[in-house]
Amino acid sequence: MRPLVLAAISIISGITVSEALGWSYGLVIPGIILSIFLISIAYFSGEGFKGLAAAPAFFFIGALFIIPYSRPELPDNHILYRVQNGAPDASRTGHVVEGRVLGAESAGKRTRVSLDVEAYRGEKSWEASSGLVQLSINGRIDLMPGDRIRTLVLLDEPRNFGNPGEFDYKKLLNRKGVFVTGYVKGERLVEIVEPARPGPVPVNSMRNGIRAFIDSRRPGTPNP
C-alpha cells in the first residue's frame, strides 16, 4: 500500500473513532507521543522508516483534529450546564432566558429561531449566560436578526429517536455549535425586549415581504 494512501486511511479512521467514542485530549496526546516513540525505536534499531510503523501516529493525529468539534470546551456559564444541572422542576415548568436573535424562519404554524443566549433567570436574579439555542415556537411571530427577546422555554439537549439508520440530528446541531434546543408553547410567551437597529438597507423587511408574497400565491391560499 502506498504511504499516502495508508496515511489518509489512518487519519480518517482516527477521526471516525474519536468522534464516535468521544475521545479527549488526555487520551489522544499520550497516544501521539507513544506512536512517535515507537517510530523512533524502529528507526534507530535499524528497521528504517516504514509507512506501517507511522500508521498509529497518523491515526491519533486524525483523532486530535476532530476533538474541538466533538468535545468543545464550553464556558462555565454555558446554557448547556443550566440544563444539565438545573432544578428538576425547570424541566417541566421551563427556563426564562434572554438573548439576541441570530435568525428566524416561520413555516406553517411554527417559528424556528436561532438564539444567542446572554442572560438566564436564576432563583433570585438574572445571571450572565452564553451559548446557542435552537428554539421552536408554537405559532408565527415576526422576529428580526438582532432582536433581543425574553421567553419562557422548555430546554433540553438535542436527541435522536434511536431508530436504525436514522439521520444524526444531534451531531449536525453540535457541529453548528448548538448543544441545547428549546420549545416555546406559544408566541405570546416571547417578549421583544429590544428591537434590532434598522440598517441602511431593509433586507429583513424585503425578505419578509417576498416570503409573504410567495405564501399568498400558493394554491388554496385566499387572496387578500
* Domain limits, the chain: 3-70, 79-216
Q: Are 146 and 100 in contact (CB under 8 A)?
A: yes
Could you report the per-residue pLDDT of 174-212, keeping only the tens digit for each?
A: 888 899 999 999 999 999 999 988 765 555 666 666 766
Distance from C-alpha of 147 to C-alpha of 99, rounded to nearest angstrom: 8
Distance from C-alpha of 98 to C-alpha of 6, rounded to nearest angstrom: 50
Number of Cβ atoms within 10 Å of the Cβ of 23 = 20
Distance from C-alpha of 61 to C-alpha of 9, rounded to nearest angstrom: 12
Domain covering 79-216 in this structure, CATH number: 2.40.50
* CA dihedral sign, ordered 213, 215, 221, 224: negative
Q: Are 104 and 143 in contact (CB under 8 A)?
A: yes
Cell of 36: 512517535
The pLDDT of residue 110: 94
The bridge status of strand 148-156 relative to strand 95-107 is antiparallel
Q: Predicted confidence band at 115 (pLDDT cuts at 50, 70, 90)?
A: very high
Section 12-36 average pLDDT:
89
pLDDT of 111 higher than 90: yes
The pLDDT of residue 63: 93
Which of 72, 79, 68, 71 lies closest to 157, judged by CA?
79
Which of 167, 161, 158, 173 lies closest to 69, judged by CA?
173
Q: Are 6 and 55 in contact (CB under 8 A)?
A: yes
Distance from C-alpha of 179 to C-alpha of 50, rounded to nearest angstrom: 42
Could you report the per-residue pLDDT of 54-72, keeping only the tens digit for each?
A: 889 999 999 999 888 777 8
The alpha carbon of 23 is separated from its chain's Cα centroid by a whole number of angstroms, namely: 18
